Each structure stands twice: as C-alpha cells, then as structure tokens.
Structure 1
Amino acid sequence: MKNDPTSNASGLTRRAWLQKVSMPALAVAGASTLPTVAQAASAHSKGDQPGLFNIRHYGARGDGSTNDTQAVQRTIDACHQQRGGIVLVPAGDYLCGTLELKSNVTLHLAVSGRLLGSPRREDYQAPAAIPPGNGNVVFIYAANADNISIEGPGTIDGDGIHFNNGKGDNTGPGGSIKTGNFDRPHLVIFYRCRHIRIEDSFFTRSAYHCFRILECQQINIHGIRIYNRVNRNNDGFHFNSSQYIHISDCDVACQDDGCALFGSNQFVTVNNCTFSTRWSIFRFGAGEAKNITVSNCIIYDTYGCPIKIGAGKSRIENLLFSNIVMEHVTGPIGIGFNAGDNNDTFVRNISFHHIRASLVPKPVNHPDIPFDVKPFDGEQNSCITLNGVGNSYLEDISFNDVQVIAAGGGTAAQAAKEVPAVSAEYFGVWGTAPVGAVAYGLYARNVKGLTLQHVRLTYRETDVRPAVVLDHVSDAAILSLSIQGHPEATALRFINCRDILCTATRLLSPAAVFLQAEGDQCSNIIIEGGDHHKAKQTTLGKLEAIIIK
C-alpha cells in the first residue's frame, strides 16, 4: 500500500476509497451521502482523501436534452484547480459538446452515467492545441496534460449517427482527401499527454475515430468496450507516435481500423482482446514502429486484412504476434514494403507464432453497419502476403505453428497471374484482373530470412493455385510444412529463389507437381525427407537447382 501511487494520506487507495463509499448512492443524483463541493475540495486540500466533484453540484441536469457542457466543464476545472481528484458522472444522460480533461483529473462514470454527444455541430470545437491531421473536432480531449483517467462502468456516447452524410475522409485506397469529410467530432483525443489510464468504461457511436492518442506516453487501457459502427472511418484505437502503450482485456467492434499504429509507436503490448471490423485490426503505417507484441487475441468477422503492415520510408522491427485466432477473415496477414532509393529504412524481425486463421472467399456486409461497403476485387480468394518491391527486402520473417484454412475457389488464371510491382494494401496488389492472389496460402516476394515451421495450409473448396509461392526469396527454412494440393496444379512454386531448405514437408492430397523451380537465379534448393508420394511429379523446372536428399 505504501508504494501505491494512487494511495492517499489516510492509507486508502483511490479504488478502495471509492468502494468504501456506497456506489449505488454515488449513482443517485444529489444523493445525501455525497460530500458537498466545499467539503470535497477542503478534504482534498488537506490531503485526507481525494477530492470528489459531482457534476450535479455544478449544475448538470442529466435529462438528455439540456446542454450540460458548461456544468461538466466547470466541474473538471474545479477539480483541476484543487490539484486534482475525481469528477463523478452519476446516473443520467448528460448532453454535451466539446469537453477538455485536465491534469490530475479522473473522470468516473458511475453505473448508468452517460456523457452523450450533442447532435449539433456548433456544440463542438476544433481546439487549437490539437493538430488538424485527420480532423481535430472532438467530443472529449486533453492536450499537454499529465495523470488523466477515464474509469467506471458508465458510457461515453458520441451519438455520431447524426454526422453520417454518406462521405468518409477518403484517406483509403484511391481516395482524395481534398474531398474528405473531416468536419465531424472524434470521440476522444489525447495529444502530448503522459500517464493516461482508461479502464472499465463503454465507448460508442463516435462520428469519426473513437480514440486518437497522439504523441503520448505511458498509456494503460484495460477492460473497456468499444462499439463504433454508425459512420465511416469509425476506428477503435488510433495511435500516432506514442510510447509505452499497454492494452488488455478489451472488446472492440468497429467499422474501420481496430488498432491503428501510425508513425513511431514503440514499446507496445496488446493482449487478451477481441476485435471485429470491416477493415483491418492491427494496421501499421509509415514511421518507426518497433518493440511491439500482440498476444492472446481473437479476431472475427474482419476484412481488409487483420494484420496489415504497409511501409514506404519506414523502420519497422521487432513485432511479435502470438496466440491469435482469426475467424471469418480475408487476407489474414499483409506486409508491403517499398523504400525506393532510401537506404535508411527496413522491415525486419517480425514473427507470427501460434496462429489459427479461417478465411472466407470475400467480405460480406456487417448487419449492424448502416451502409454497404463494396469489396475490392483483390479481396477475393486472398492469402498471406509478404511483398517487397524493387530493391526493398523484408528481413527475418517467421511463421511457427500456423494453420490457415482458406476458402478456396482459386482459378488457374489466378495462379498464372504476374504480381504487379506495387506495395499498395494487399487488395490493391491483387486488384488487377484477374482478381485474387496467386497462392491460396502464402505469397512472398523479396524476403531474406524466411522461416516456415509447423505450418499447415488447406482449403475448403477446390483451388488450383499453389499453396505457397516464393519469388526472389533467399535464406529460407521450411520445416514441417503440410499443404493441400490439387491434381492439376503445382503445390510449391519457387521463382528465382536460392538457399532454401525444405525439411519434412508433407503433401496432404494429390498434386501434379510438388515443387516447381523457375528462373535463372534459382539455386541450392534442398528437399530433405518428407512425404510427397501423392504428387505425380516431385519436381519440375530448373532441376539442377534442386537437391533431393
């Protein structure tokens, strides 16, 4: 207790003190058990216990129709001026516009306490303290503040359906941000804040992103629920250039990116969470992303690539994804890298361990999203994609104990397709006719140091594409790979690959050819052991490059 930074002079932690005070009584507006504002401020100033500031005592009505913005803001300001404490949102619907959280303020949402976003645009501000990128109109924000908390079982509800005009921000593939819809409030923005804690609350119906956490440090998010599906670009978490981020035990259902990490995000852990969205879950953009782990998560009903790493002039390294279940997804993992002439960039040391992925042929609409989202052509028959372009190479990429059940349906035309030299999002890579990927399991181009260990690739419907296509891959170890074949197709296709060791590989069903080697640069491809008797022909192509032991 002595080392608990939230403990007070009386020896009680803030949580223990809240439990000691009757929470049902706290939830009742104007309850007689609550201390007066003067008493709370006085008690806090003496250091006996944290100050408690009830928004009802500052004039908030909580009837769902009166604009309570000024009353709630007065409460936050009073709490901040008294060197911090707890701002209590008791039971009720408190209609508000833009609110600013400040240093040392804990916003406690009691059971049935709800901050409800105003449907009127004029009630919201675009604070000068928040940079305008992706819009800075906001419901609740803090800038350059320390020690901020949002907690409790209540709700922050943006009621963002009123801002659905049919337009998104056009930041996606093929869009033009010049005509994008940015004039709508995000639910929560933190900018250049430190020591942020968000716990137990429900966040829903934002008009734009749910959380934007920009250039912040020490962020702890635990046990919250996000349901954000009333508008386009309804992200869950959106981080930009933040450090020491820890997310655990959260449930996120949104329309756009579930957990976007753009810019230089470092020292990040995500564990024990569930995610669902129309687009991606873990999305990485340009910047310096490193030292990030994601574990023990379930991803379901997600399209547009659950794990999507797009890199141009970036430095991305030390990303670990483990113990992840993907159910009903497309394009489960996609990495694209095109550094151009920039030699100071890299994508390396990325591992995927203990993954179970079940794929669907193409995206379908979520019944609770109030508009249709037309699938891209390239989202059909998708696969895992590792895509280095030009002179850009991915380095040290590993898959261990990975099982992918593809939907199947791939055609010979798709298998013969030449992959365009672009590093767009995976459905952009595959988006030129004929649609779909060249492999049903894994396509890898320009990779140095690839490990596939205890990987199993199968499909539900007939598929004549190879299970794995490697294109300009070197220094690869393929250990205990089990793949499903097709009687008229090649199971493994290697194009200009060298120094590849295949050990204990298994062909699960008949195939025309187990391994086909193509290109003048193919060399030192070793097949050691395994079971390939179901193939009509073990090898094909540049046979002098293949060594069978």
Structure 2
Amino acid sequence: MKFFSGNLCRIQTALACLILFSAVQAFAQKTALPIIRQVSFKKDTTSIISFGAKGDGVFLNTESINKTIASVSQKGGGVVLIPSGLWLTGPIELKSNVNLHLKRDAILQFTDDFNQYKLVEGNWEGAPAWRNQSPISGNNLENIAITGTGIIDGNGGAWRMVKKEKLTESQWKKLLASGGVVSEDNKTWYPSQKVIKGSKTKSAGVIEAGKTAADYDDIKDFLRPNLLVLTNCKKILLEGVTFQNSPAWNLHPLLCQDLTLRNLQVKNPWYAQNGDGVDIESCKNVLIEGSTFDVGDDGICIKSGRDEAGRKRGVPTENVIIRNNVVYHAHGGFVIGSEMSGGARNIWVYDCSFIGTDIGLRFKTTRGRGGVVENIFVDRINMIDIPGEAILFDMYYAAVDPVPLAGEKREAIKTVLVPVTESTPQFRNFYIKNIVANGADKAIFFRGLPEMNIKDIHLENVTIQSKKGIEIIEGTGIFLKNVNVITEDTNPVVHVQNSSNINIDGLQFKKGSDLLFNITGERSKDIKVSGTDVSKAKNTSVMSNDVNKSTLSIKK
C-alpha cells in the first residue's frame, strides 16, 4: 500500500510540475522579446561638399549627394555627412554600408519640381502600383542608416490636395494665392489638373499588364510618393533625425528585417491626407523606441499588404517592439491595419503616451482583406483628450476619418452574414493591460463580423474617463478584468450585441448609472459577471426579446 501511495504522490507531483511548466512556458512565449540585429559602419566620413554640393537652398544637389553615397558604398562603406546648410535636392538613393548623417543645423529639403521624380513600379497602400519615386529610397540593401539631429523635409505641401474645411479662412486664401487649381464646388484645392484627374480615376496607378510609365503621365502628379521607402533591406537604423512634411506616408519599410527606429521626430500637418508617421509593412524584427509622432493620419502603424495582393505575398509583420514613444495628433496612436492581409503577430507595445490622437489603440480591417492578426501584447499606455475611442477593434473599416467632421452624416452599418473564405480577416489573442485614458468619446469598442467574431481579447487594469462606455458587437471570448469606466452617458454602461463567452470581473462604474448592461441579439449568450457591485446602477440589465434570459449570470 505504501508503494502505491508513494508512486501516486510522485505521479501527482510530476503532473503538477508539468502543468506548472506549461504555464511558465506559455508565459515566457508571451514575454520573450525578439532580438534586433544592429548596424555597424566604418568610421570614414565623407562630406557631400567634396562632390560639389552647395547648401544655399537654390542649388539642386541630387547628383552630388547620390555620387557621395555611391562612392562611399563602393569603398566599403562609412559615413556620408550632410553638414550645416539648406540642401535642396531631388530623389536620393541609399546604398549598402552607408550611414547618411545630418548635422543639427542641416535641412535636407526635397524639391517641389515634380519633373525630378520619375514614375517607378512601387507599392501603394499594400498593393503594387506606379508611384513617383520616393525622395529617399533603397532596395535590396544591407547595413544602412540615417542618423544625426538634422531635418529631412519632403515638401509635401506641394503634392497634397487640401479640403477647405480643414483650414482657416486666411490659410485657405494663402493656399489659393500659391497657385494650383480649385474644384468646381470651391471646396478642395489641388496642386494641378493632373491631380484632379487622378482623384477621379478609379484605382489610379494600379499596375496593369502591358502598360508603361508613359501611360500614367496624365495623372502623374496624383501619384504621391512616400517620403522614405526601404524595400527588401536588412539591418537598418533611423536615429535622431526629424522626418517631416511628407507627400504621403512618412516612413515606409517594406519587406525589411532588423529595423531600428530610435529617438525620431516624425511630423506632418494634422490635415495631411495619408500623412502617416510610420507604416511597418511585412517586416520582421523591428524596434521603435523613444520617438515622437505628430502627423495627419495613423501614427505608428502595422501593415502587411492589401487583399489578394497581400495574401499572395503572404509575409506577416512579426516580432515587433514598440516602446517609450509619444504620439500627438494622429488618426490612431498605435494601429494595426487596415491593410493586414499577410497577417501580423508577436507584437509588443508598452510605455507609450497618446495625446489627442483621434483613437488611442486602433485595430481595423474589413471583409476582403483576409489575414490573421494575433499575439498582440499591450502594456502601460497613457492617453489624454482622445476625440474617438480609447480602444477600438473594428472589422467594418471604411476609408474615412475616424472622427466625423461637424455636420457629417454616416450611414449605420448593415449587418449581413456571408461565408468564411480566405478573404475573411481575423483578430485574436490580444492581451491589453494597465491602460489609463483621461478623456475619450467612447471607452472601448469591439465590432467583429458575424461570420468571424473578434476572439480572445483580454483587457486588465483599465481606467478610462469617457462620454460613453463599452460596446461589444460580434465578439467571442472577451475578458474584462478590473476595468473602470467613468462615463457621462450611463444608459447603458455596457452594451453587448450578438456576442458570447463574455467574462467581466471587477467592473467599476459611476454610482447611480441608469443601466449597467444592455444585451441584444439572438446570438448573445454566456455572459458572466463577477466581483462587481451591480447595486450601484439603477437598473442592472435590459435584454431584447430575442435574448435568452439565462444569458447573463451575475456572481456576487
């Protein structure tokens, strides 16, 4: 008997150890950060002046700068110095083993002469397209950097169309006086007639078989370039520099590995169309730290291609660390999507602040994208003055500003069930904790698809002061622990529609709230509430007629 008892104890101990090991291993997988390889350069320094560059703001330095970069690369690499001065230039092409270094009082400004930018086969919002050559570009390079404390200015105002409603009257008059063309309704300014034609052309710039760059000349000015595009490059460092005033996106690494962005200033006017800060697309092993973004579209954004083209490429963005950054104006502070068709996974975001971003944490996609976004870890995020949602998951993304303009009316989403295919996107396995937001229109918003719910989302230790509370639509496996929503609108605090396996533990809300839970939709079920003083609300719950009354269970 003693023999069996001893063996049983050993078996139980072994089983307990196995369970503990599995739990520790799972935790380690969540917290183990990727390693990003760093650049290394020869100390040799060559000034662009030695190749005839002039920093007078008049001389066009394109040839001088590119010759300097090519020469240094051919000699095995080193530093190309942009010294003090205002350096006007056309497109610059980086080369392997070169560190382009800008002095503190150096401004590298790109010309507004569109003829200096040839049309090239590139990528636009996740799909192959003809674009004007980017001011700074690099293809199939290794060990490259842009460093220093100078300024790189893309002269984006020369490229962008602008809506009158986004400017003051005096700004609008000044813009008209600069030239360009105004729309027939006098509501939009365009740099040229080619931009107007391009804006009216369906799928403008999309690469078509048998067509050459010449076939797109009549809309060339519309095909705005991103300021910096690096494609298929390895070991990259962008550090200390200010990137500003981009024609479209500011920074666009595509299919790159071992990328570090550190202590950057990335800026655009708040109204800059497509004026994203950084778009990491189909990249692996990325670190973004200590940087500040104040831009016209999404701040820090993860992408991996759009629709069929993105799925065909099939390269996710993965192994990404984003820490110690500040985002001011942007459509979203940290964003994934909507072009995420190749997937995104293993991303850590922590110790960041969002100040006045339209949305704080923004995860967006739509039918047709496909792709899986999973294993996203967010910790210690602070936000103030968020005009939209503090935390948003939306699988009905439409290409409109996240916050409607004054007087703008938008149609309500019509929910229909469609079959699941390879073009059905998925959001799953998000772990978000230690979030504080002071001021938002809505605290938390989930909206999945009826055929593919948002799944396995964990929110813990969240405090949000907002006008509206929590809305969960088409979600499965939503876990809210120690969430405190301090809302103006308390009818209801939490709305659940066609969602299941909802676990709410330790919910805090304003005492005297009119209604705590409003539950609708015949697919709503298995909603569990614990550790919550529901008596603080005037009414605990209201359910629509198609909801089973056993759907909501409250454990006191």
TM (normalized to structure 1)?
Answer: 0.72
1:94–1:490 CA distance, 2 compared to 1 (3 A): same
- Choose which of 385, 392, 404 in structure 2 pairs with 1:334: 392
Counterpart residue number, 1:92: 85
1:214 aligns with 2:254: yes
**Counterpart residue identity of residue 284, structure 1:** G
Contact 2:348 2:376 in 1 (8 A): yes
Give CA-to-partner distance per residue, 1:120-172, whole Å, 9 cap, x none. 111223344767548343111001111110111111111222223326999xx
Give CA-to-partner distance per residue, 1:260-302, whole Å, 9 cap, x none. 2121211111010000224123132232111111111101111
- Choose which of 317, 321, 326 in structure 2 pairs with 1:269: 321
Counterpart residue number, 2:432: 352
Residues matched between the structures, number: 427
Give CA-to-partner distance per residue, 1:307-335, whole Å, 9 cap, x none. 23224322111111211111111112221
Alpha-carbon deviation of 1:524? 5.0
**Counterpart residue identity of residue 490, structure 1:** L
1:142 aligns with 2:168: no
Give CA-to-partner distance per residue, 1:38-80, whole Å, 9 cap, x none. xxxxxxxxxxx53322101010011111111110011001011
1:472 aligns with 2:515: no
**Counterpart residue identity of residue 493, structure 1:** N
1:202 aligns with 2:242: yes
Higher relative contact order (CA 8 A, sep 6+): 2
1:508–1:93 CA distance, 2 compared to 1 (3 A): farther
Q: Give the whole-Å Cα distance in 1 for the aligned partners of 2:483 and 2:38.
A: 46
Contact 2:453 2:476 in 1 (8 A): yes
Counterpart residue number, 2:380: 323
Give CA-to-partner distance per residue, 1:481-508, whole Å, 9 cap, x none. 0122656x32212234322221111358
Greater fraction of residues in helix: 2
Q: Give the whole-Å Cα distance in 2 for the aligned partners of 1:176 and 1:453.
A: 46
Contact 1:257 1:279 in 2 (8 A): yes
1:391 aligns with 2:451: yes
**Unmatched 5+ stretches in structure 2:** 1-36, 163-188, 206-218, 305-315, 397-416
Q: Does the residue aligned with 1:72 lie in a helix, a strand or coil? A: helix
* CA-based RMSD: 2.8
Q: Does the residue aligned with 1:57 lie in a helix, a strand or coil? A: helix
1:122 aligns with 2:97: no
**Unmatched 5+ stretches in structure 1:** 8-13, 15-48, 361-380, 409-439, 530-549
Q: Does the residue aligned with 2:274 lie in a helix, a strand or coil? A: coil
Which segment drifts farther, 463-472 or 177-186? 177-186
Alpha-carbon deviation of 1:516? 2.4
Q: Give the whole-Å Cα distance in 2 for the aligned partners of 1:442 and 1:175.
A: 40
Counterpart residue number, 1:250: 291
Q: Give the whole-Å Cα distance in 2 for the aligned partners of 1:165 and 1:5.
A: 39
Alpha-carbon deviation of 1:255? 0.7
Alpha-carbon deviation of 1:473? 2.3
1:276–1:81 CA distance, 2 compared to 1 (3 A): same
Map 1:335-484 to 2 at 5 A. Answer: 335-337=393-395, 340-342=418-420, 346-360=426-440, 381-406=441-466, 408=467, 440-459=468-487, 461=488, 463-484=489-510
Contact 2:90 2:111 in 1 (8 A): yes
Give CA-to-partner distance per residue, 1:321-363, whole Å, 9 cap, x none. 2111111111122212379423565321012211112334xxx
1:225–1:452 CA distance, 2 compared to 1 (3 A): same
**Counterpart residue identity of residue 460, structure 2:** N
Contact 1:280 1:308 in 2 (8 A): no
Q: Give the whole-Å Cα distance in 2 for the aligned partners of 1:506 and 1:214.
A: 50
Contact 2:80 2:99 in 1 (8 A): yes
Q: Give the whole-Å Cα distance in 1 for the aligned partners of 2:485 and 2:240.
A: 39
Q: Give the whole-Å Cα distance in 2 for the aligned partners of 1:383 and 1:452.
A: 13
Counterpart residue number, 1:532: none
**Counterpart residue identity of residue 472, structure 1:** N
Contact 1:353 1:399 in 2 (8 A): yes
Counterpart residue number, 1:506: 533
- Choose which of 341, 350, 361 in structure 2 pairs with 1:295: 350
Contact 1:242 1:265 in 2 (8 A): yes
**Counterpart residue identity of residue 324, structure 2:** N
**Counterpart residue identity of residue 266, structure 1:** E
Give CA-to-partner distance per residue, 1:355-411, whole Å, 9 cap, x none. 112334xxxxxxxxxxxxxxxxxxxx54422112222112111110111111x3xxx
Counterpart residue number, 2:215: none
Q: Give the whole-Å Cα distance in 1 for the aligned partners of 2:257 and 2:376.
A: 19
**Counterpart residue identity of residue 274, structure 2:** N
1:127–1:148 CA distance, 2 compared to 1 (3 A): farther
1:236–1:175 CA distance, 2 compared to 1 (3 A): farther
**Counterpart residue identity of residue 158, structure 1:** G
1:187 aligns with 2:218: no
Q: Give the whole-Å Cα distance in 2 for the aligned partners of 1:61 and 1:73.
A: 14
1:97–1:130 CA distance, 2 compared to 1 (3 A): farther
1:526–1:507 CA distance, 2 compared to 1 (3 A): closer
Map 1:19-98 to 2 at 5 A. Answer: 50-98=43-91
**Counterpart residue identity of residue 444, structure 1:** I
Report percent identity of matched pairs. 24
TM (normalized to structure 2)?
Answer: 0.71
**Counterpart residue identity of residue 88, structure 1:** L
Contact 1:446 1:473 in 2 (8 A): yes
Alpha-carbon deviation of 1:103? 1.0
